[in-house]
Amino acid sequence: MKSALFAALLCTTLLSCGSFDGHLHDSDSHPESDHGWVDLFNGDNLDGWARVNGAPSTFTVRDGMIVCSGKPISVLRTDRMYENFVFEMDWKHIESQGNAGLFIWSDPLTARGQPFTRSIEVQVMVGVETENYTSDGDIFSIHGATMVPDRPHPGGWARCLPSEKRVKPAGEWNHYRVTCIDGVMKLDVNGKEVSGGYDMSPRKGYICLEAEGSEIHFKKLRIRELPPSDPPLPAEHVADLARDHTSLYSGEDLSGWQVGPAQADHWSATGWTLSSDGFGGPLMSQEQFGEYELIVDWRWTGEAAVSKVTAAPSSSRAVVAPGTGGTERPAGQWNRMEVTRAGGVFRGVLNGEALFEHDDPDPDGAGPIVLMPGSAPVQFANVYVRRLP
């Protein structure tokens, strides 16, 4: 019944844009047709895409393909949002047990304490089969997104397992066709629908490619946009808007940070997290910043120790240190600190609650971002900054 309703909805949507007259045309039945389609990858570079996190070497272009090394775990997104559309791509894993993903209706930044974004994920994996997840085209919600699967999951998860196995193994190309209309999503694998869901939220956002540990190649990425919802979507169903945040941590090394003897033996790049043993000196960015918005996630990885230093101004610096009190979470759980320096004032928000507001001692100056080690093992992640005009 839900598939029939979706087909009717698709027909209604096509009628509204003048491209459906009751008959299935070549452009509707054959993905090879160019009618109404726009390439999302030009074959030469990553124009139209933005690196959310990770390193520049994670997603590169070679021989007309987007080549993803899989490391560090990270995300590449489109530079604009999409609502109702049909999206297609070809993908090929290189390793026999390869893992990656396609994120639909995604936020532009990673979720708190995660290398991934809030979105609906279309699984892009080979060589792994379990009772609860497969390599055949699962669809599921992640990190705050919601959905109802077309078929109940055996464990009650918000995840649709495919109706049949159609994914080819590593070394062979697969074709995905994802149709998204008004919070309903369907996935075709190599020419046949296998999974889907409905009542999804968000239902407007970015499209992302995910690196998750193994090499994968992508090509022939294209999209056919369909008319948006009428009336327009309420804000609750729309992903956050990108605001030009830049990641200050590559996930590969400490490039971009000032590293001397006091840092080299105590700070380390540990994949998508940045780890401190709790000793040594603070880690300061090489770049200087005037007015800005800063986002930093952190968690205690050992026994929590309280530091009296908070995310507060020190000259022109924003010093972010664990042990702020207030809404700080227990050891092992991630916190998100947001610091704004603007208009002569430093403001801090911890886990969604106001933490401090201080006058800026040097409102016209510029300084680095400073991460303090605290006095116990701690990890930082998702270090984003946005310069303010």
pLDDT digit string (tens) for 59-75?
999 999 999 999 999 99
As a whole number of angstroms, the distance between CA 267 and CA 276 comes to 5
Contacts 24+ apart (CB under 8 A), 1-4: 2/150, 2/196, 2/198, 3/150, 3/186, 3/193, 3/196
Q: What is the CA radius of gyration of the chain?
A: 23
CB neighbours of 163 closer than 8 A, spacing ≥ 6? 151, 193, 194, 195
As a whole number of angstroms, the distance between CA 178 and CA 186 comes to 6
As a whole number of angstroms, the distance between CA 34 and CA 203 comes to 25
Residues of the chain with CATH 2.60.120.560: 2-237, 246-387
**281 within 8 A of 260, measured Cβ to Cβ:** yes
pLDDT tens, per residue, the chain with 389 residues: 454 445 444 544 444 443 333 333 333 434 445 789 999 999 999 999 999 999 999 999 999 999 999 999 999 999 999 999 999 999 999 999 999 999 999 999 999 999 999 999 999 999 999 999 999 999 999 999 999 999 999 999 999 999 999 999 999 999 999 999 999 999 999 999 999 999 999 999 999 999 999 999 999 999 999 999 999 999 999 999 999 999 999 999 999 999 999 999 999 999 999 999 999 999 999 999 999 999 999 999 976 554 433 444 456 666 777 765 667 898 899 999 999 999 999 999 999 999 989 999 999 999 999 999 878 899 999 999 999 98
Tell the CATH topology of 246-387: Jelly Rolls (2.60.120)
CB neighbours of 67 closer than 8 A, spacing ≥ 6? 59, 60, 61, 215, 217
For residue 242, count other CB atoms closer than 10 A to its CB: 19
- DSSP characters over 240-270: PPP---EES--SSS-TTEE--HHHHTTEEEE
pLDDT of residue 316: 61
DSSP 155: T
As a whole number of angstroms, the distance between CA 149 and CA 365 comes to 53
As a whole number of angstroms, the distance between CA 377 and CA 267 comes to 10
As a whole number of angstroms, the distance between CA 258 and CA 18 comes to 58
As a whole number of angstroms, the distance between CA 346 and CA 136 comes to 49
As a whole number of angstroms, the distance between CA 320 and CA 306 comes to 13
- What residue type is assigned to position 148 of the chain? V
pLDDT of residue 320: 75
DSSP 156: -
**């139209």: which residue's tokens?**
48
User: What would the two tokens of residue 330 be?
Assistant: 């227990």
Q: Which residue from 117, 163, 124, 162 is spatially nearest to 141, judged by alpha carbons?
A: 117
- Assign domain 2-237 to its CATH superfamily: Exo-inulinase; domain 1 (2.60.120.560)
